Amino acid sequence: MDRMRERKESDIPSLEKTLKLMPERRRARHLLSTPADGGIGIIAEVKKASPSRRDVRAVEPSRQACLYREGGALGVSVLTDGAFFAGSWDDLEAAAAVVDAPVLCKEFVYFEEQIDMADRLGADLVLLIARTLSDKELRRLYRHALDRSITPLVEVHRPAELARALSLDPEFLMVNMRDLGTLALEFRTGIETLRAIPEGILKISASGVAGRDDIVRIHDKTGATVFLVGSALM
């Protein structure tokens, strides 16, 4: 993760120059909401590759995003990291331009300029991974996202990370079933974390969903109603 931070920091001068030349956001904002009628909602991910599964699929982000919405997806997630996920800021822009639903910018965010870029390109939510940020950084970036009217979505993995996230008084929390340190799926840990999220906060479960049975199992054990699904849909 230290190398990831260094890579992202090296991108900042270029982002700053690009932001100065970009117009203000044009796309209307779309808020993530609880699935209707107590159902299950899917945030479907545009995912070309991943560290755990390389070269998932060559895909046109705009077409894939449209297919997801036509299939009833609650929202669309777009990976913008190039080194590990073969994504780009162009992918985010292309997907956001064609869907009338919440779009999540899934990036390793360390700097305000990344949030500004996500906003300009049409994202409605931006991912903040708790384990990669200090308390001060997490709070600062969370506030910056809110100031830009973009929803900060905090990701945690273990129950020990929850206190930091809950101190921000979030509407939503995402629990990643995968340990980013080892890339191993740890369902027991993830389920324990989801169960510990207080009532009134929308629970989002990410990673480890291969099909309907996984969704039903996690929902029954935790009450999670929104699932971020990537590789299984690609």
DSSP letters spanning 67-136: HHHHTT-SEEEEE--STTT---HHHHHHHHTT-SS-EEEE----SHHHHHHHHHTT-SEEEEEGGGS-HH
Band (pLDDT 50/70/90 cuts) for residue 56 is low
- Amino acid (1-letter code) at residue 73: A
Contact partners, residue 65, CB within 8 Å, separation at least 6: 46, 76, 78, 94, 95, 96, 98, 99, 103
> Residue 224 to residues 91, 145, 161: CA-CA distances in angstroms?
28, 24, 18
CATH number of 2-12+38-233: 3.20.20.70
Answer yes or no: are the C-beta atoms of 183 and 64 closer than 8 Å. Answer: no
Which pLDDT value is given to residue 106?
98
Task: Say whether pTM exceeds 0.85.
Answer: yes
Return the residue matching tokens 């699904």. Answer: 229
Token pair of 40, please? 């299950």
**Where exactly are the structural domains of the chain?**
2-12+38-233
Mean pLDDT of the chain: 94
Identify the residue with better confidence: 45 or 48. 45
Chain-centre distance of CA 198, in angstroms?
20
Chain-centre distance of CA 34, in angstroms?
16
Beta strands 75-79 and 125-129 are: unpaired
Which pLDDT value is given to residue 55?
62
pLDDT > 90 fraction of the chain, expressed in percent and rounded: 86
- Amino acid (1-letter code) at residue 179: D
Tens of pLDDT along 157-187?
Answer: 999 999 999 999 999 999 999 999 899 999 9
Tens of pLDDT along 78-121?
Answer: 999 998 888 999 999 999 999 999 999 999 999 999 999 999 99
Which pLDDT value is given to residue 70?
96
Tens of pLDDT along 210-228?
Answer: 999 999 999 999 999 999 9
Tens of pLDDT along 190-199?
Answer: 999 999 999 9
Which pLDDT value is given to residue 52?
67
pLDDT over threshold 90, residue 59 = no
What mean pLDDT do residues 29-33 have? 94
DSSP 8-class letter at 229: E
